[in-house]
Structure 1
Amino acid sequence: MHTWPFPNIPPELFDTLTDDEWRTLEALTQTYLEHVAHRQQRLPATND
């Protein structure tokens, strides 16, 4: 099992992000997760 979840993005790339880029990335990630959670609440349950 990989310890780094992004096989196409090296972890060193994250070390080069500015504080503003970090805040933007965090905000975009939070927005995405909220959208997914909202969609899951609207979709009917499945028996997968």
Structure 2
Amino acid sequence: MDKLNIRKLIIILVHALIGWALCGATMGIGMVITSIENTLIIHAIAAPIII
């Protein structure tokens, strides 16, 4: 792999990690504030927006 491909891979991995962290934060905060059912609904709505 050349440097350009490695750079692209790192960019994709960083974006994936940020998306995963935001989804995790949505679930974590949601479970503290409301029920698991409502949290899953909020996550289902927020996930396409986050990603």
Q: What TM-score does the superposition give when structure 2 sets the normalisation length?
A: 0.53
How much has 1:27 moved relative to structure 2?
Answer: 0.3
Q: Which residue of 2 aligns with 1:34?
A: 18
Greater share of helix residues, 1 or 2?
2
In 2, Cα distance between the equivalents of 1:28 and 1:20? 12
5+ long unaligned stretches in structure 1: 1-16
**Count of residue pairs brought into register by the alignment:** 30
Percent pairwise identity: 13
**Structure 1 ranges of 4+ moved more than 2 A:** none
User: Partners of 1:35 and 1:41 in 2: how far apart?
Assistant: 10
Q: Could you tell me the TM-score, scaled by structure 1's length?
A: 0.56
The letter of the residue matching 2:2 is T
In structure 1, the partner of 2:7 is 23
